[in-house]
Amino acid sequence: MQHTATASIRIANAKPTANARRQATRAARPTAASSASAALKASAFLPSSAGLKAQSLVASKTAVPASRRPLKVSALTIQEEVVFIDTPTGPMHALVLRPTAPGNYPGLVFYSEIFQVTGPIRRSAAMMACHGFVVVVPDIYHEEEAAGSSLPYDGPGADRGNHLKVTKPMDAYDSDADAAMRYLMYHPACTGKVGVMGFCIGGHLAYRAALHPEVRAAAVWYPTDIHKGSPDHVMRRPAPNGGFMGSTCNTCHRTPEFAAKGTELLMIFGRQDPHIDAWGRKRIRQALMDADVCFSWHEYNGQHAFMRDEGYRYDAELAIECYQKAIALFRRKLNEGDLPVPSGQYVTAAVESRH
């Protein structure tokens, strides 16, 4: 008995053999199933794109016979091409971004700031394309600037952009919009259903392009100078920073056309934006209400260009929230089966007869 006890103590304190070490290592190593479970749990707390990447990683680590593995095609992978669209004022350079996954997608015409297609604009276009849209981003100053060029985010760049925006005739902006819309509607990857969006001057151009008969929805960020024009082409209020398109701007006066064609608008502003002050915002909102247009209105504590992911004005939290609102609008209005929605202030008895 004493011998047996001594032997037991010696075995317990002995160093493990090589075979025992290998078995312990295998036991401690996580299995494919446990790795998949952990990654999927982690992906639930990530943004949508990151979550999908995590799930893709899990799928690639899971042991599946090569003959049964799915093709590595991601709906969030996009491709970009350069096109030249014919317009009455000459060829218009444009970027086209779309998902690489086979299929047809709704289309968006995306209008830039006065600096044309910069890095932030390209990234915003990619953001929308990744969510399942064919996005066309035209050069708004194609008559004057080299194809595909952009202006720097500095004083001279702003001066050049502001000069070009007021010297280009309104008719030229309108004909550009018609050409871009026609190109997008017949793009082989587009469903033919189109919307528009834009920042700054691009917000104004999106608002105006939404008057096109085929446009179903528009997302408009801090649109400069809509409030400065009038039906008789006379500026009602002096503009300290110069009037966009001068006396030819009748965009605000054309607002009732939205109600006639059933276009829905998403209007987004920064309350600290000096280019569209409280008076200007009030005038635009009143025009939409008077015309009984279907729209939503959002004012944030943000500066002009808070969507631009460069510089001190950028507000990432607001940008993410606004992208979500725009994506929800376009998915609803450009998808199949959207019901007509009665517009805001005048609700008929047939829709609601009691509280």
Per the CB < 8 A criterion, the answer to whether 134 and 78 are in contact is no
CB count, 10 Å around CB of 31?
A: 9
The active-site residue out of 187, 204, 227, 304 is 304
Give the burial class of 104: count Cβ atoms within 10 A of its Cβ; 0-12 exposed, 13-18 middle, 19 or more buried: middle
- The one-letter code for the residue type at 38 is A
Q: What's the N-to-C CA distance of the chain in angstroms? A: 91
Would you call 315 a catalytic residue per the annotation? no
The active-site residue out of 273, 294, 315, 322 is 273
Quote the tokens at residue 120: 């932030």
Question: From edge to edge, which strands make up the β-sheet containing 134-138?
Answer: 78-85, 92-99, 134-138, 105-111, 190-199, 215-221, 264-270, 294-300
The active-site residue out of 200, 249, 252, 294 is 200
CB count, 10 Å around CB of 142?
A: 24
Per the CB < 8 A criterion, the answer to whether 107 and 136 are in contact is yes
Q: Which residues of the chain form beta strands (DSSP E)? A: 78-85, 92-99, 105-111, 134-138, 190-199, 215-221, 264-270, 294-300
Would you call 304 a catalytic residue per the annotation? yes
Q: Which residue in this structure is represented by tokens 């390209």?
A: 122
C-alpha R_g of the chain? 28
3-state helix, strand, coil in the chain (%, to 5): 40, 15, 40
CB count, 10 Å around CB of 242?
A: 12
Q: Which residues carry out catalysis?
A: 200, 273, 304
